[in-house]
Each structure stands twice: as C-alpha cells, then as structure tokens.
Amino acid sequence: MTIFIPTPLRPYAGGQSSIQIDAPSIAAALDQLTASHPDLRKHLFTPEGKVRAFVNLYLNDEDIRYLPEKEATRVSPTDTLSIIPSIAGGLPPRR
C-alpha cells in the first residue's frame, strides 16, 4: 500500500512524500513504517501506543476510526493510507 506523509512529518521520514509498504493490515503497515522511521513514532502515537488526538489516519477516503475493524482492517497493494495532522497555518506571534 501507499502511505502519504504530510509535509510537517516529512523531516521524520527521510523527506519522502509517500512510502510504499507491503503489509496485510493497517496496524502492520504502521508498524513497518515506524520501524523504518523511528522518529515518526512519537509524532503519530502516544507513549501508550494510541494514535495521537491531533493526527487522523485515513484508509483511502475513510477515517480509520469509523472502519468496523479499525487498525486491524486488511489492506491491499492499491490502498492508500493518509496521515493528516492538524495544521494551524500562518506565523505564530513574533517574539
């Protein structure tokens, strides 16, 4: 499957915008992704291993929170997984 890496997280994924991963399920794909890019882990997951509240994961166009089997959902090579973190835009107040 193809995992799309959003701009803010690309520095932790070797600058890549998408990564091909051969895995049977969403959870397995995320494991492989964070195993090869360990810096991504703390941005995607809490220390307890839960997906962070400001990061959303989409299998194709569907939020995985609303898939019946959630992270255990099986995936095919043509599926895409998008990581969508919240972005505020603009510049923070000058300091």
Judged by the rule CB under 8 A, the positions of this chain that interact with other proteins are 6-8, 11, 17, 42-43, 52-54, 56, 58, 61-63, 66, 82, 84-95
Spatial CB neighbours of 20, under 8 Å, sequence gap ≥ 6: 1, 2, 3
Q: How far apart are CA 74 and CA 29, in angstroms?
A: 10
Of the pair 24, 62, the CB lying nearest other proteins is at: 62
Per DSSP, 24 falls in state S
Query: In the bound complex, what is the minimum distance in angstroms from residue 22's beta carbon to other proteins?
Result: 23
Q: How far is the CB of 10 from other proteins (least distance, A)?
A: 9
